[in-house]
Structure 1
């Protein structure tokens, strides 16, 4: 079952493009780029106003979504 987003594809694609452009501008390797993206995710989860006990659940759901979106072939 496809996941539907409440965000417009155009908006998501523009932000994604902007982030990729910044990483390319800084000539960030794949390893560094993944580290930065991981740090962004961690900072967003930790700085949110959600209760601390919910943060682990959100992180696990994020990790599951990431794993399900990886091409394995």
Structure 2
């Protein structure tokens, strides 16, 4: 059974494109882009999750990222 998201594909793609556009506007190469995105994920985890939740959410995020590459 596919995973249902509360967000529409259009909403996800719109925000994603805005992030990519911002990286491009700043002339970010792939290394800087990955550093910025990684630091952004860390900021979201630290600001929006309780300390006891962070590691589990980070592991779920990493697993989802790896799955999306396969």
TM-score (norm 2): 0.91
Q: Which residue of 2 aligns with 1:14?
A: 14
Gaps of 5+ in 1: none
1:1-73 superposed matches below 5 A: 1-48=1-48, 50-71=49-70
TM superposition outliers: structure 1 runs of 4+ over 3 Å: none
Gaps of 5+ in 2: none
Supply the RMSD in Å over aligned alpha carbons.
Answer: 1.1
Residue-pair matches, total? 70
From the two aligned structures, give the one with the greater helix fraction: 2
TM-score (norm 1): 0.88
Cα shift at 1:17? 0.7
In 1, Cα distance between equivalents of 2:31 and 2:7: 28
In 2, Cα distance between equivalents of 1:3 and 1:32: 31
Cα shift at 1:64? 0.4
Question: Deviations along 1:15-50, whole A, 9 cap, x unmatched?
Answer: 1111110111111001110111111100000011x3
